[in-house]
């Protein structure tokens, strides 16, 4: 990895990836492309590579790479706020941005690892296998499903690996506000001495995966022997009650949940990744359980940042 492009590199997962590559491949020339609509420059504090401010769904940024070699492209830029209802905007930004990336990769003969999403599965109360996709609940999920379909046109022409991230949490998500993980939001409530508020009766379950594992899976995408799309999760579901138990352990508190009625009839009560294909195609298996990831996150990032008022 001598010449690396990360789109969305100032975002949550993108910034974690940029610093991991910077640490493990110190000779790599890393270029981040980000328009900072859904990210924050503070996430790149200490980044030694180049940062270009462009919207990847537009065309003008491609000129900056006409004479640049590229050995790897990690495409993480997209609108990720699932509450956005503007279908034209969501589809254009996410799908056309990806189309630009694929065209650039074909020109440079560079492999692409891109962020898909568990949102392509919609509401399914069973471990989700890759072949179960195509029933998204919202336009965000539709945009990611459409991206997955685009990769078919490049079979045999270009190495493309899609990663269906499940519920990611960890350092670097602070700027997302209401779109940050529930683990982050509940932790902030508890750090303020408040009881954590969750829907009755806290038995809704998610496949929460720590961002450190997500970065590992993303890097492993480059080593896939063939084009593939795989789930990136722990393979286990964790209830919100269990999340609060882990948060209490990490924080050294004993705050009981504050249960309230769920107002949403479209709420997703369950997510769990079937991870067999990720093990087979990428050799990836999550190193952190959700519990251990939460404790690491709280003790090494959230508690220190709360004491020093430094965001994480």
Active site residue 165: no
The three-state (H, E, C) secondary structure of 228-288, written as one string: EEEEECCCCCEEHHHHHHHHHHHHCCCCCCEEECCCCCCCCCECCECCHHHHHHHCCCCCC
Catalytic residue among 176, 184, 210, 277: 176
Catalytic residue among 108, 114, 121, 140: 140
Active site residue 176: yes
| 3-class secondary structure, 139 | helix
Provide the b/e sequence for 296-308 (b: ≥16 CB within 10 Å): bbbeebbbeebee
Q: Count CA within 13 A, CB hemisphere, residue 24.
A: 11
CA distance 230 to 217: 10
Q: Which residues contact 269 (CB under 8 A, 6 or more apart)?
A: 123, 125, 204, 205
- What is the H or E stretch that residue 207 is in? none
Burial class (CB in 10 A: 0-12, 13-18, 19+), 146: middle
What is the set of active-site residues?
140, 176
């Amino acid at each position: 990895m001598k010449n690396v492009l990360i789109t969305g590199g100032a975002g949550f997962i993108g910034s974690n990836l940029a610093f991991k590559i910077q640490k493990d491949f110190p000779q790599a020339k890393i270029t981040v492309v980000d328009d900072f609509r859904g990210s924050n420059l503070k996430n790149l504090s200490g980044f030694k590579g180049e940062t270009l401010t462009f919207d990847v769904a537009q065309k003008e940024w491609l000129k900056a790479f006409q004479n640049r070699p590229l050995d790897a492209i990690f495409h993480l830029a997209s609108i990720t706020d699932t509450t956005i209802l503007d279908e034209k905007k969501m589809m254009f930004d996410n799908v056309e941005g990806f189309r630009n990336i694929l065209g650039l990769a074909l020109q440079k003969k560079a492999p692409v690892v891109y962020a898909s999403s568990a949102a392509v599965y919609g509401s399914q109360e069973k471990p989700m296998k890759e072949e179960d996709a195509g029933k998204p609940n919202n336009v965000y999920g539709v945009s990611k499903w459409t991206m997955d379909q685009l990769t078919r046109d490049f079979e045999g022409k270009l190495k493309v690996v899609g990663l269906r991230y499940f519920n990611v949490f960890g350092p670097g998500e602070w700027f997302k506000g209401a779109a940050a993980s529930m683990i982050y939001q509940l932790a902030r409530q508890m750090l303020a001495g408040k009881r954590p508020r969750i829907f009755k009766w806290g038995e809704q379950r998610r496949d929460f995966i720590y961002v450190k594992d997500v970065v590992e899976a993303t890097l492993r995408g480059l080593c896939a022997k063939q084009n593939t799309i795989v789930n990136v999760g722990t393979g286990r579901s964790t209830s919100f009650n269990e999340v609060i138990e882990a948060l209490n352990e990490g924080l050294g508190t004993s705050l009981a949940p504050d249960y309230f009625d769920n107002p949403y009839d479209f709420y997703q009560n369950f997510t769990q990744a079937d991870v067999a294909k990720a093990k087979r195609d990428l050799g990836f298996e999550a190193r952190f359980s959700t519990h251990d990831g939460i404790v690491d996150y709280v003790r090494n990032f959230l508690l220190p940042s709360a004491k020093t008022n430094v965001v994480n």
